[in-house]
Structure 1
Amino acid sequence: MNSWNIFGHDWAVDMLINHIAHQGLRHAYLLTGPAGVGRRALATRLAQALNCPTPVAPGVACGVCRTCKQVEAGQQADLMVIQAEAEGGILKVEQVREVQKFLSLRPYQSPFKVVIFLRFQEANASAQNALLKTLEEAPAYALLLLTADNAEQLLPTIVSRCEVMRLRPLTVAGVTEFLAAKGVPPEKAALLGHLSGGRPGYALRLSADEKALAFRADKLDDLRHLLGAKRRERFAYAEKLAKDKDAFRKMLFLWLAYWRDVMLCSSGAQAELTNSDRAEEIESLAYALGLAQARAQTRAMELALERMGKNVNLRLLAEVTLMDLPQVR
Structure 2
Amino acid sequence: MNDNLTNTTVSGLPDLYYPWQASQWDKLTTVFSSGRLPHALMLSGVGGTGKTLFADTLANLVLCEQAYDNNQGNPGPVPCGRCKNCHLVQAEAHPDIRYFSPEEKSTIVKVDQIRQLNEYISKSSQQGGYKVAIIHPAEAMNTSAANALLKSLEEPSQKTLIILVVDHPGRMLPTIRSRCQVVDFPMPNHQQSMAWLSQALPESALLEDLLLLAAGSPIKAVELAGSEAVAQKQSMIADLAKVLKREVTVVSVAAKWQKYELQLVLAWNVTWLQQLIRFSMTKDAQLVKDDTLLKMIQYLAEKHSAARFYELLDKVQTTCDLVARKTNPNHQILIENVLVGWSELMQKTPA
User: Given the two structures, how large is their TM-score scaled by the length of structure 1?
Assistant: 0.84
Q: 1:39 aligns with which of 44, 51, 64?
A: 51
Match of 2:313 in 1: 298
Q: Find the aligned partners of 1:79 and 1:66 in 2 and give their Cα distance.
A: 14
**For 2:68, what is the secondary structure of its paired residue?**
coil
Asked whether the 8 Å contact 1:52–1:67 carries over to 2, the reply is: yes
Q: Find the aligned partners of 1:284 and 1:111 in 2 and give their Cα distance.
A: 62
Q: Gaps (5+ residues) in structure 1?
A: none
Change over 3 Å in CA distance of 1:30–1:87 after alignment to 2: farther
CA distances 1:194-238 after superposition (whole Å, capped 9, x unpaired): 333332332232223x134444443333223322224x6233334
Amino acid at match of 2:41: Y
Identity of aligned residues (%): 25
Alignment of 1:276-315 (within 5 A): 277-278=289-290, 280-290=291-301, 291-292=305-306, 293-305=308-320
Change over 3 Å in CA distance of 1:318–1:190 after alignment to 2: closer
Alignment of 1:126-145 (within 5 A): 126-145=144-163
Asked whether the 8 Å contact 2:213–2:264 carries over to 1, the reply is: no
Match of 2:339 in 1: 322
Q: Find the aligned partners of 2:24 and 2:147 in 1 and give their Cα distance.
A: 28
Asked whether the 8 Å contact 1:175–1:203 carries over to 2, the reply is: no
Asked whether the 8 Å contact 1:34–1:199 carries over to 2, the reply is: no
Q: Find the aligned partners of 1:317 and 1:221 in 2 and give their Cα distance.
A: 20
Amino acid at match of 1:297: L
Match of 1:233 in 2: 249
Deviation, 1:167, is 0.6
The answer to whether residue 211 in structure 2 is matched with residue 188 in structure 1 is no
CA distances 1:270-318 after superposition (whole Å, capped 9, x unpaired): 8996xx652x344333321114453343234234445666787766555
Q: Find the aligned partners of 1:214 and 1:254 in 2 and give their Cα distance.
A: 12
Q: Find the aligned partners of 2:107 and 2:61 in 1 and give their Cα distance.
A: 30
The answer to whether residue 40 in structure 2 is matched with residue 24 in structure 1 is no
Match of 1:53 in 2: 65
**For 2:161, what is the secondary structure of its paired residue?**
strand
**For 1:40, what is the secondary structure of its paired residue?**
helix
Change over 3 Å in CA distance of 1:180–1:311 after alignment to 2: closer
Change over 3 Å in CA distance of 1:315–1:26 after alignment to 2: closer
CA distances 1:76-128 after superposition (whole Å, capped 9, x unpaired): 21111111136981111111111122213211125101111111111100000
Q: Find the aligned partners of 2:34 and 2:105 in 1 and give their Cα distance.
A: 37
The answer to whether residue 238 in structure 2 is matched with residue 224 in structure 1 is no
Deviation, 1:160, is 0.8
* Paired positions, count: 321
Change over 3 Å in CA distance of 1:307–1:194 after alignment to 2: closer
Match of 1:8 in 2: 20
Alignment of 1:82-161 (within 5 A): 82-85=100-103, 89-161=107-179
Q: Find the aligned partners of 1:284 and 1:66 in 2 and give their Cα distance.
A: 61
**Which segment is superposed worse, 305-314 or 134-143?**
305-314
**For 2:205, what is the secondary structure of its paired residue?**
helix
Q: Find the aligned partners of 1:5 and 1:233 in 2 and give their Cα distance.
A: 47
CA distances 1:224-277 after superposition (whole Å, capped 9, x unpaired): 3322224x6233334566xx598455423321221111111221188996xx65
Amino acid at match of 2:310: R
Amino acid at match of 2:97: L
The answer to whether residue 182 in structure 2 is matched with residue 167 in structure 1 is no
User: Given the two structures, how large is their TM-score scaled by the length of structure 2?
Assistant: 0.79
Q: Find the aligned partners of 1:189 and 1:87 in 2 and give their Cα distance.
A: 34
Change over 3 Å in CA distance of 1:12–1:179 after alignment to 2: same
Asked whether the 8 Å contact 1:31–1:164 carries over to 2, the reply is: yes
**Which segment is superposed worse, 79-88 or 130-139?**
79-88
CA RMSD of aligned residues (A): 3.2
Q: Find the aligned partners of 2:285 and 2:297 in 1 and give their Cα distance.
A: 14
**For 1:8, what is the secondary structure of its paired residue?**
helix
Q: Find the aligned partners of 2:331 and 2:216 in 1 and give their Cα distance.
A: 31
Asked whether the 8 Å contact 2:213–2:268 carries over to 1, the reply is: no
Change over 3 Å in CA distance of 1:304–1:157 after alignment to 2: closer
